[in-house]
Copies of this chain bind each other. A is one copy, B any other.
Amino acid sequence: MQVIPPALERLIIDLTRLPGIGQKTASRLALYLLRRPAAEALHLSTSLAELHASIQLCSRCFAFSENDPCQICEDSRRNDRLVCVVEAPGDLMAIEKTGSFGGVYHILHGVLAPMEGIGPDELKIRELFQRVRTQEIEEILVATSSTVPGEATASYLIDYLAGMPVKVTRLACGIPMGMDIKYADEHTLARAVESRQIIR
């Protein structure tokens, strides 16, 4: 007995393919769209259809962009001698939102994960070294996540870059702003003590 109309079921199946969307959430979303005016589902449909058609990778920094080079790489007010290396486009967006970075980026599109067969060649690491060799870069800010694979990727980059005439920096690790010290986990607290800053 087919209880769910096939068109609804197809949408539910497609939605469950998205990360973090299970069967129940997918059903809820699909039924919501069915209850709302058709224009809403069509609008979302159009946005999805246009996504890949109008976005490509910037050939310099590998950010997603509608132009090549991307607007950040093209912007003459930005310091292209300071390159921030991030794992993914979402990290670039998070750093841009802070408004505290005036350099350019290099997106790795992942982290090293030898167990899953992801080595340096699967990421944009070769391209990063190429940029360091061919462009006048003064500083590489390694801004991978402070997770185990993020740290491993950072170590790999830092080791390799040691042989090149470029300053290498890392995002500061420590107590999050506004956090009570007694609630900080011990690894973070240990790192905050080790990286303590001289005030005067």
Contacts and interface: CB of A to CB of B under 8 A. Distances in A.
Chain A, interface SS category: helix
Contacts of A162: none
A122 interface: no
Q: How large is the interface on A (under 10, 10 to 19, 20 to 34, 35 or more residues)?
A: 35 or more
A29 to B, nearest CB: 5
Interface in A46-73: 46-55, 64-66, 71-72
A61 to B, nearest CB: 12
Given A3-B92, A44-B15, A8 B52 contact: no
A52 B31 contact: no
B7 A33 contact: no
B50 A7 contact: yes
